[in-house]
Amino acid sequence: MSSYVLAIRNHPESGPGRYPAWLRAAGLEVEVRPGEDGLPGDLKGINGLIMLGGGLMPDDDAAAPWLAEERTLVARALDEHVPILGICLGGQLLAHVGGGRVRSDHGVIERGATRIRLTPAAAEDGLLGRLPASFYAIENHRDAITELPPGSVHLAYSEDCPNQAFRLGDVAWGLQFHPEASSANVARWDPAKVRADGFDHDELIRLAQSVEPESERACRQIAEAFATVVHQHAAT
């Protein structure tokens, strides 16, 4: 029987991208569930949890009432040592639940392909340990994790954002960048909104396309490493 992973979609425009195909190729059963459809009250039968992005704050329950359920599910996954992968909003939500701090409209806006640099601690990490010291990944955020949760391990940063990846406990990871996204996502962005944030849309597309092979290798390695962790914990 394959291991089952629940991926929570927090916004229609922040889907799972290429990750379901990569995770299924690595032997996982993946369900992508919109948060507004309701979330399970427990982790019975769930071997891994993925929280996707969404342009919200982790406690923005007025705009997204299911976030309260999502935070509860994340807390239970931490308690029960169920592997977690939080991406963008999902990473911020993990930081929030773990006791860190997330601020809206904070720091430098990051859009498009961005060089991610690993900290020395990442060399021994179960998710990022096999990656090169730096690689490109897609970014699209204006909110930021300003304080990591107590006891967490800082794993990656970029030039403009100090907290790009962290691990909380043994099997829970938060990422600010989007390993599920590609240059195709960048090409679909609204050019007017991109300009309003101070970026040249055509240049963002060109850069993302030029680094796609490097980025895809690294981002697929993250997916495969997460699948390995899920399988290992499902077998125990």
Q: What is the pLDDT of residues 20-30, one digit of tens each?
A: 999 999 999 99
Give yes or no: 36 in active site.
no
In this prediction, residues 163-178 reach a mean pLDDT of 98
For the chain, give the mean pLDDT. Answer: 96
Mean pLDDT (whole number) for 210-228: 98
Q: What is the pLDDT at residue 235? A: 86
Tell me the residue length of the chain. 236
Write down the catalytic residue from 96, 141, 178, 201. 178
Residue 126 confidence (pLDDT) above 90: yes
- From the list 70, 110, 180, 216, the catalytic residue is 180
d(CA 153, CA 178): 19
pLDDT digits (tens, 9 = 90+) for 67-96: 999 999 999 999 999 999 999 999 999 999
Structure tokens at 102: 């997330």
111, 197 contact by CB (below 8 A): yes
Question: Has 231 been annotated as catalytic?
Answer: no
Look at residue 1 and tell me whether its pLDDT is greater than 70.
no
pLDDT of residue 143: 96
- By C-alpha distance, which of 55, 69, 45, 72 is closest to 15? 55
Res 72: pLDDT: 97
Active site residue 203: no
